[in-house]
């Protein structure tokens, strides 16, 4: 039995609070939304170490925030899928870049069935009738689009800005006021040699890194037998998400230096002591891997913060409201 993460007594202490999830299903899961992950743990007497060994990594992977700020509903929903679906734990990577391997095939699928894909056509306004139903979409070009049904997959902060005046006081749409996008930083880092890696997405308990993967191993397009290319999510990166530092306001060099320090802990015998990056100064002589180049992408408003008491599953779902044939869908 694997006892590296939790001892057998700790596992016995952890299991009972999760049994209602299996027996009662979604009603029990939704009822826990009033509690953060850490509040749920303490309410049901779960060992504190499960937070360090499991929940920190889960919270950062699921919503890029710390477990004391994340609704337990989010974690239980994920755990329920893992336990009840045969492929719930499986993950996959695109074998190339998103425009070629995801966007183009999706557009081709739509076109092959008689649809049309308009690029570079930003929306200016959702125009409504006197009764609040949709009359048409007005594009910035002046074009009017009339459809039988409308689907919005815009991020929450953009949806809030685009809501027609007639909708803003409707109870359903007022719920969007509770949702706030949180910042996240995406990193791409190229090294001059191969790091030890596995062909999978790695979940981190690091205070700065959420998830990462060596794309030279996991993705065909970036395959390289001699050098590693890491893609990482730097989060939480602001106080709203549980971070102590507003990293969004920091320079790229400061962010990369902090990341190199974290990678030195993750790869203690591989990352080199590089004077360009002060955070690596404690590295020993065995480390040889040096950073060749990097890319930092800051996203000030990313996924919304699924904080306790908001029942996130009620907000962004594919439902039809009485404004007539408008569907709100989760953005990809």
pLDDT, residue 1, reads 42
Query: Which two tokens mark 20?
Result: 């209602």
Please calculate the CA angle 251-256-259 and round it to the nearest 5 degrees: 130
For every residue of 84-133, DSSP letters joined together read H-TTTT-----SS-HIIIIIHHHHHHHHHTT-----S--EEEEEE-TTS-
pLDDT, residue 311, reads 56
Helix residue ranges, H only, 197-311: 215-218, 252-266
Looking at per-residue confidence, does 52 or 326 come out higher?
Answer: 52
Q: What is the pTM (predicted TM-score) of this model? A: 0.77
Close Cβ partners of 206 (under 8 Å, ≥ 6 residues apart): 262, 265, 266
Helix residue ranges, H only, the chain: 8-24, 26-31, 37-43, 49-50, 56-63, 72-84, 98, 104-112, 156-162, 171-174, 215-218, 252-266
Query: Which residue carries 């409707």 as its tokens?
Result: 170
Q: Is the pLDDT of residue 258 over 90?
A: yes
CATH numbers and ranges of domains, the chain: 8-84 (1.10.405), 98-180+307-325 (no CATH), 184-299 (3.30.70)
pLDDT, residue 321, reads 44
Q: How many residues does the chain have?
A: 332
Query: Which two tokens mark 271?
Result: 């990352």
What pLDDT digit, counting tens, does each position of 94-114 carry? 888 889 999 999 999 999 999
**312 close to 306: Cβ distance less than 8 angstroms:** yes
What pLDDT digit, counting tens, does each position of 214-234 carry? 999 999 888 999 999 999 999
**208 close to 262: Cβ distance less than 8 angstroms:** yes
Looking at per-residue confidence, does 166 or 190 come out higher?
Answer: 190
Query: Which two tokens mark 144?
Result: 């009017």
End-to-end CA distance of the chain: 38
């Amino acid at each position: 039995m694997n006892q590296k993460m939790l001892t057998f007594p700790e596992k016995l202490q952890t299991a009972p609070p999760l049994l209602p999830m299996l027996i009662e299903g979604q009603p029990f899961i939704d009822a826990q939304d009033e509690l953060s992950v850490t509040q749920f743990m303490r309410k049901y007497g779960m060992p504190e170490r499960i937070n360090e060994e499991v929940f920190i990594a889960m919270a950062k992977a699921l919503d890029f925030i710390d477990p004391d700020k994340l609704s337990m509903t989010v974690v239980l929903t994920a755990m329920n899928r893992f336990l009840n679906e045969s492929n719930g734990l499986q993950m996959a990577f695109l074998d190339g870049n998103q425009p070629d391997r995801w966007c183009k095939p999706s557009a081709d699928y739509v076109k092959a069935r008689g649809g049309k894909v308009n690029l570079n056509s930003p929306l200016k306004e959702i125009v409504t009738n006197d009764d609040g139903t949709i009359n048409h979409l007005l594009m910035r070009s002046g074009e009017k689009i009339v459809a039988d049904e409308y689907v919005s997959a815009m991020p929450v902060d953009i949806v809030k800005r685009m809501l027609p005046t007639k909708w803003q006081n409707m109870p359903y749409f007022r719920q969007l006021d509770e949702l706030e996008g949180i910042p996240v930083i995406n990193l791409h880092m190229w090294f001059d040699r191969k790091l030890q890696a596995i062909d999978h997405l790695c979940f981190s308990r690091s205070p700065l890194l959420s998830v990462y993967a060596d794309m030279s191993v996991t993705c065909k397009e970036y395959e390289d037998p001699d050098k590693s290319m890491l893609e990482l999510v730097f989060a939480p990166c602001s106080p709203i998400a549980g971070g102590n530092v507003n990293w969004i306001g920091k320079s790229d060099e400061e962010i990369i230096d902090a990341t190199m320090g974290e990678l030195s802990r993750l790869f203690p015998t591989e990352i080199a002591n590089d004077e360009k990056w002060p955070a690596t100064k404690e590295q020993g002589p065995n480390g040889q891997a040096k950073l060749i180049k990097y890319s930092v992408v800051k996203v000030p408003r990313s996924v919304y913060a699924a904080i306790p008491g908001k029942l996130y599953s009620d907000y962004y779902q594919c439902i039809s409201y009485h404004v007539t044939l408008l569907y709100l869908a989760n953005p990809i």
